Amino acid sequence: MSEIKNVIVYVDFNEYEIKIIGYATRIAEILGAEVTLMHVLHTGYDYFEVGGFGKSIEVAYERAIAHARLVMDDYINEMQKVFKSVKIRKKLAMGHPLDEFINYAHSNNGLVVLPNHIRRKNIRFLSPGVTHKALRKLNRNMIFVDGEVLPRIDKIDIKRILVPVDFSEYSISALKFAAELASRNDARIHAINVIHPPRVQRELLEEIGLNYKEFVSVLEQETGMKLKSLVKELGIKSVKTEVIEGTPPEVIVELSKDKFDMVALGIKGKSKSEKLLVGNVTEQVVEFSHAPVAVIRDF
């Protein structure tokens, strides 16, 4: 099991930033970790023209950095009012925002938290393409958070976690991550397996004496037993198991509407063949989920 000591938050000064940082800080509090807030000053922008900060680009950047420090200090002060025991630090850099953030995250192991702006049009630095780029290039456990769906920071908690399990090592890592949060926070896990039976010709089913409904029923029973066995083997408590027929991303997104505080997904590694598989379930859930989505590579 991986021990998380640092929660690294991408800061882009969006309108829901304070709640996103609050969510990350609550996770850090549960795990006994520290928080690093990182903002990257985009060197591709002309602050003289867009901000009127001064007569030279150098002065503009200096003032932009000073402004960023003040805003981040305000964030930290707000967090410390609610999360008094969590150590929070800030990190400022210059360059391309996501590239610099990815480099920093790769050199400083931890759980990464990124704002998820996919469903909104008012985007400063992040876009749907960038969110998908993070999924493919950031080789860390990460959480995508849309601050719009969160309560105020003193009400943020992680008490209900949805975990889709397909019995791969990746989904088992996500289940272990959820179990670690739950064990430290008296939370409940809803572990599901979504069965998506192939279209089997009726003749083949008839040969073994089953109609389609009977076929699905048998599959649900066998999968349900396997899921309960896995949960028992891992020693996870406070968990509900369920097998659901349907298309995985659609089922997961629909369930995410049911007041879950997190969806925890496993994700494959970074080989060329595995990168091609990222886009299906993971990207669709990140894009449409009504709850923050933890994308777990290893735990």
d(CA 202, CA 200): 6
4 DSSP assignment: P
Structure tokens at 187: 């939370």
Going by pLDDT thresholds of 50, 70 and 90, the confidence category of residue 62 is confident
d(CA 243, CA 143): 25
User: Is it the case that residue 246 has pLDDT exceeding 50?
Assistant: yes
Quick one: 66 and 178 in the same domain?
no
Quick one: 174 and 278 in the same domain?
yes
CA distances from 229 to 25, 82, 232, 235 (A): 33, 39, 5, 10
Quick one: 152 and 178 in the same domain?
no
Task: Report pLDDT for 77.
Answer: 97
Q: What are the tens digits of pLDDT across the range 186-219? A: 999 999 999 887 665 666 766 777 777 777 788 8
Is pLDDT larger for residue 122 or for residue 112? 112
Quick one: 144 and 272 in the same domain?
no
User: Is it the case that residue 180 has pLDDT exceeding 90?
Assistant: yes
CA atoms 16, 21, 24, 29: torsion sign = negative
- Between strands 160-164 and 188-195, the pairing is parallel
Task: Report pLDDT for 44.
Answer: 64
Quick one: 19 and 125 in the same domain?
yes
Quick one: 86 and 211 in the same domain?
no
- Provide mean pLDDT across the span 118-130: 49
Task: Report pLDDT for 72.
Answer: 96
Is pLDDT larger for residue 209 or for residue 55? 209
Structure tokens at 105: 């995250």
Overall domain count for the chain: 2
- Provide mean pLDDT across the span 125-142: 73
CB atoms within 10 A of CB 238: 11
* Packing angle, helices 281-288 and 248-256, rounded to 10: 20
Quick one: 173 and 298 in the same domain?
yes
Task: Give the least confident one: 158-162, 176-180, 235-239, 292-296.
Answer: 235-239
CA distances from 274 to 23, 139, 278 (A): 30, 12, 7
pTM, whole model, 2 decimals? 0.87
Going by pLDDT thresholds of 50, 70 and 90, the confidence category of residue 55 is low
Quick one: 115 and 217 in the same domain?
no
User: Is it the case that residue 50 has pLDDT exceeding 50?
Assistant: no
- Provide mean pLDDT across the span 82-92: 96
Task: Report pLDDT for 276.
Answer: 35
Quick one: 1 and 148 in the same domain?
yes
CA atoms 6, 134, 294, 152: torsion sign = positive
- Provide mean pLDDT across the span 55-80: 87
Task: Report pLDDT for 270.
Answer: 46
Domain that holds residue 294: 157-299
Quick one: 195 and 282 in the same domain?
yes
Q: Which of 101, 127, 156 is the last residue of a domain?
A: 156
We report the CATH number of the domain holding residue 249 as 3.40.50.620
Q: Which of 156, 174, 198 is the last residue of a domain?
A: 156
Q: For the chain, what percent of residues have pLDDT higher than 90?
A: 56
User: Is it the case that residue 176 has pLDDT exceeding 90?
Assistant: yes
Task: Report pLDDT for 211.
Answer: 74
Please provide the average confidence, as pLDDT, over all residues in the chain. Answer: 84
Quick one: 5 and 133 in the same domain?
yes
Q: Which of 141, 156, 171 is the last residue of a domain?
A: 156
